[in-house]
Amino acid sequence: KQEVTQIPAALSVPEGENLVLNCSFTDSAIYNLQWFRQDPGKGLTSLLLIQSSQREQTSGRLNASLDKSSGRSTLYIAASQPGDSATYLCAVRPSGGSNYKLTFGKGTLLTVNP
């Protein structure tokens, strides 16, 4: 059974700092990995999707990397802003067949202080 762990559970940083969020998964047989952002009481916003054959994806100040063999992904946020404050979730989709369900970690609660 796939298990996804996110470390740290919470992170507080001053504005402008670069930071890294970590995600690990136990079964390396994945089709892709997705990073989401969730604001309090709201739904999920997809940030980046990395296919299993890719090593990284970039969007603006965000960069996500994937090391499938070691079961790890990182989300790098450059020059953090107070508006980045949210919970960040990673999710993996298993490879093979028609299995589309995502397995999520518990998330990292990020607070960026002005």
Residue 49 touches other proteins, criterion: CB under 8 A: yes
Quick one: 107 exposed, middle or buried, by C-beta within 10 A (0-12, 13-18, 19+)?
buried
Residue with Cβ nearer other proteins (54 or 63): 54
With contacts defined by CB under 8 A, name the span among 12-20, 61-69, 75-83, 105-113 that binds other proteins: 105-113
Q: Binding mask 7-46 vs other proteins (x if CB under 8 A, - otherwise)? A: ------------------------xx-x-x----xxxxxx
In the list 1, 96, 98, 114, the residue contacting other proteins (rule: CB under 8 A) is: 98
CA atoms within 13 A on the CB side of 68: 18
Q: Could you tell me where the beta strands, DSSP code E, fall in the chain?
A: 4-7, 10-14, 19-25, 30-38, 44-51, 56-59, 62-67, 72-77, 86-94, 103-104, 108-113
Q: By the criterion CB under 8 A, which residues form the site for other proteins?
A: 4, 31-32, 34, 36, 41-46, 49-51, 54, 57, 89, 91, 93, 98-107
